[in-house]
Structure 1
């Protein structure tokens, strides 16, 4: 038993449909004793509140760490509740995508994740916000930690068969991606970055992200880092089957180049400028304003939030503290392995 003074109070925010509660409680009790934490409170998420309220209330009651146990929706909601509070977010990934955990190289095994959370160290990452306008003129704000946008990412979620997802896990997304590649460059948008001149474009997908890895390890935004104070954007504009083949080849090349530059400790970006294809354009910034000609389905961190006619993306540098493995991974937060 650890006899040192307790590190602090912990709140476990869990999705009841994702966890084996007795197993999780046993693992948490062992990790708390091993690493010397104090009181643990348990908060169950609901359909009406997937984690934001419990996370905020737990901090108000004195929790210094809130552990999100569930899928990407639970993690995103808890992160929203912890924004700029200084309390740390622990992640026990129990979903299908587990996007933040994959991008930050956190353990995906439940018991290993529990031990890493209670024995880890805190690091600040950025938190993004998407302010969207609905077709009826109403507006909403959604914080996110990985990616948001319109096109293949959002369409993939709409096209994912829930029954297939339950049977084969993240492989179901492969089927959904294949369905989502159809439709051509039908999204018409006007956008500007960091207050610059407005530009018009026609794309298949427009996605902004603070982390770069999509489901299945696809490095959609290979230069994205979770703690660099900017978000990355990708404009996907294929021309037919050849265009998609060209994009696929470039993504594979970029993944390899990412690894090579990490091994050689090169800080040069993988994307941008003359390196980009006309069908795969990359930009970065701290504020994006985009207006769509027609309503499109919007996605934040793997969750479809309905149709929008406009969206702004902004970033809060260091707005979220995340408990990471100790010692930390070799990769910088947000890098693709």
Structure 2
């Protein structure tokens, strides 16, 4: 849902805060653009909060909210966006995205401009509000403790999480998504699979053995790869992907479905037959609102492209319309 975005209650000018990753942005340029656009839109003086290795964005965003911010402009990568979303959950504070990372996954799925700071900031102050869904996940650790987090794009285990763990951060900073090629090769050499018990929407618990498990709020990745073809950010559902290719032909089948069926045929005259092809033993799709999973041993887990340690179980659900993001007014 998109609604016109009033700056703030009419009794005072709107207050915006910028939560930025100092490694990802040109702060001097960003300050100049934000000051110009905020003044033109009639907003008050902007607040500024930097992230740090100790705080990827949650505390910075909470400080912004405590200081009266109506809108938080998030300038950083996917990790910064996820952290700020975690902090604004349940507060009613709006977010705007200034894509500054490698993946920029939420911005891509919302079809926002990726490489134009002026346009992104203009949208922040003069765009409209769009309500999107937010994924929430309780992660149980090997020591029995539990932590709660959010994801705006995807949560994953298996090959997906191992790829994140094997990615060279220095190479990622220099070469972008090329850094994931090496990580994928290393991860494919790992013979271990996930042995998991799954309960979808409170139904019957089922056992599964898979290479990869992904829960997605949206499904588009860089390179025009549509990993979850039916995922929508505002349908109140997550899309579940279970990947279990067997041997070389199994991997070729998965590649064909992701790279050809999901990317090329969707929306074409052949679209009506895709549902029959997209789910089989090697690649299965389902949708739901809540998923409980119990692993046979601790496994790596990732949220929105960042590793989140090991999990022995998790409980994930969707909160429909829980996050308000600024998008262009059309």
Q: State which drifts further: 171-180 or 40-49.
A: 171-180
TM-score normalised over the length of structure 1: 0.89
Matched, 1:326 2:321: no
Change beyond 3 A, Cα 1:203–1:43:
same
Match of 2:243 among 231, 236, 239: 236
Question: Partner of 1:69 in structure 2?
Answer: 75
Equivalences for residues 3-152 of structure 1 within 5 A: 8-109=14-115, 110-152=117-159
Aligned equivalents of 2:123 and 2:267: distance in 1? Answer: 25
Match of 1:260 among 256, 264, 268: 268
- 2:283 matched residue in structure 1: 280
Equivalent-residue separation in structure 2 for 1:178 and 1:37 (angstroms):
49
Q: Which of residues 172, 181, 185 is equivalent to 2:188? A: 181
- Stretches of structure 2 that go unaligned for 5 or more consecutive residues are 1-9
- Residues of 2 paired with 1:107 and 1:14: CA distance? 18
Matches within 5 A, 1:189-200: 189-200=196-207
SS class of match (1:63): coil
Q: What is the alpha-carbon distance in structure 2 between the residues aligned to residue 181 and residue 270 of structure 1? A: 27
| 2:303 counterpart residue number | 300
Q: CA deviation at 1:249?
A: 0.5
CA distance in 2, matches of 1:303, 1:42: 24
Partners of 2:256 and 2:54 in 1: CA distance: 42
Aligned to 1:206: 213
Deviation at 1:26, TM superposition (A): 1.0
Other structure's SS at 1:248 match: helix
Using structure 2 for the length normalisation, give the TM-score: 0.90
Judged with a 3 Å threshold, the aligned counterparts in structure 2 of structure 1 residues 30 and 184 are, in CA distance, closer, same or farther, namely same
CA distance in 2, matches of 1:177, 1:29: 42
Q: Deviations over 1:50-83 (max 9, x none)?
A: 2112222322322110011111111111111111
CA contact 1:72–1:100 (8 Å) conserved in 2: yes
Q: What CA distance in whole angstroms lies between the structure 1 residues aligned with 2:174 and 2:203?
A: 47
Using the alignment, how far apart are the partners of 1:217 and 1:91 within structure 2? 20
SS in 2 for 1:31: helix
CA positional deviation for 1:163: 2.5
- The 3-state SS of whatever aligns with 1:105 is coil
